[in-house]
Chains A and B, each alone.
Chain A
Amino acid sequence: MKPLIIIVGLSVLLLVGGSWWSNNAQQKVYEQEIVGITSTIVTDRSHVQTEVDYKDTPPVGGNHHPVWLSCNGDIYDEPVVDENAVHSLEHGAVWITYQPELAAEQIEILKGKVKGYSFMSPYPEQESPIMLTAWGVQLPLDAADDPRIDQFLAKFRQGPQTPEPGATCNAIPGGMQ
């Protein structure tokens, strides 16, 4: 019986080892499903210096101002201009927004999530306490400790939805009005 045990053991080891290795080697973050996301196909992406009438609140994409909002982990305490923020989405940023009445400790948790290629601002008109937005995708949330926040950030910061891969989140030096 001894050889049988060794052989079966070896086979199982190979099987488990092989599948562990293959899972490890191909963790494809782009294919991760995140429950609750709404997707919109956005085709308009021209530079305009006029106000844009966006369908979604906050907007998920569309025409935008030539100047993007700095989105390198920036935390804005006041609402920002949609037309600038949408340009940041085009550059691959995730925009975290919250209703101003959200509890202070919830806001603190959110602030801790804002790193490169993301930015945060209050958004009084939005319907859900917290919203995560990237170009063409949006996720409404109730609580800052929802594990989907990290999933969304992992998938969409410079993710496959980015219309302009490689674009920077740094502000234009010297700014522009």
Chain B
Amino acid sequence: MSEVRLQVQNLCKTFGITKAVQNVSFNINKGEVHALIGENGSGKSTLTNMLTGIYSIDSGHFILDGKEVHPKNQVEANDEGISIIVQELGTLSGLTVAENIFLGHEDRFVKYGIKNTGAMNREAQKLLNQYGFDRIRAGAMVDEYNFEDRKLVEIVKATYFNPKIVVIDETTTALSQEGREELYKHMNRIRAEGNTVIFISHDLPEVLRMSDTITVLRDGVYIDTVKSADMTEDGLKKLMVGREVTGDYYRADYGGEISKEVVMSVKNVTVPGLIRNISFDLHKGEILGFGGLSESGMHEIGKACFGASFDREGSVTLADGTAINDIPTAIRHSIAYTSKDRDNESVVMNQSIGDNICLPSLDTLKNGAGLLSDRKMKAFANEYANEMSVKMVNTDQFVSDLSGGNKQKVVLARWIGKDSDILVLDSPTRGIDIKVKQDIYQLMDKMRKNGKSIIMISEELMELIGMCDRILIMKDGEISGELMRSPELDENSLIAKMV
């Protein structure tokens, strides 16, 4: 029997009327990767945020190695031996890599109030080298590095002091395959050293592969703790959703003809440093997939088609000859776009759900006097929020209160309300649980059948294979291959063209 590292006892947390965590109790052992899974809003992140001091605890206890811990911020949590790697960016611009790694712990380099920058940089570089991240320079501004490398800096920051518990909160969704492998390596190392990883992920195959034990939460309530070895993906889904996930997950049809009618034609599009000489046609009723490594340039394709790229060369034209060179033209001509970076580029966080949904459709929501009609806006927002079954109190609630999946539903509701004909969806299911994913897949299928055309950009190969009529694979800014929908298509045939 393994030794218990952390006891979670009768933990509760409420936000207003929402009971985010309700009387949750379970144990986490030493030397294990303990996955925490559940749908969006199930309370996983709330629980770990309380453990790491980001949220306060309403009631209940965390007992770490027999002693109650109650950190008030991340630094106190670190002092107790607990650290966290968050889903989004956790490093601070304007500081060096070394300053980021030791933020809140500078005192060890401070003598008589003066910080020894040289010693700090040397120490940080030593750590980076130990982790095999030699190419990252401790003295450089962290701004000089891309998202992936900054995540690596976070790995060092969260683990260098050998913490007893490392929380990894949906970090893998933001990483490319190489980044994930790097993270897995360190998860295994932490476990081998007898410490514990609390691993939050929506990727169930990944959870089964990487974890020893899995605890399932649903709507803030503890459901079960199971051994990964005894579990299947379907079994986990059942525990998470509370019933069998019935019906098709992806679309089930094969062998359908793609319409000959071209709705958008992309010719020789180049965005310096990102994509080169890209040409393709999007057909009516087609789901066209773009796959590749995170840095392959595929995310720029979406921006280019929406008129949102800078210094774009080449042309994007619609069937009627309209050239799409800027965002207003794109929206006027019924093109919708959802960004991979949902929080920063898609939703207006500190605005209501209603405002977010109405934003591109304001012209149609005016009253007789040409002023915005409150009544029309409310009705419009309600209609499409309900159609997308957004989990909310009402449409006046701020988007910042919603979980990732519900934010995405708001974004989609916005474009469905606009009745867009061409949808460019960049990573539409990123960090979203299976139930909402299924909703989104079904919505896409329905739209396709209604003659809408969809460009789907995704790092999840399975969903590309499951949903697309055609998949274009990107490598180093160029299209490296085209694959047609087929039941025989598997991940390996895509990966072969990606790397």
* A and B form one complex: no
Contact surface of B with A, Cβ cutoff 8 Å: none
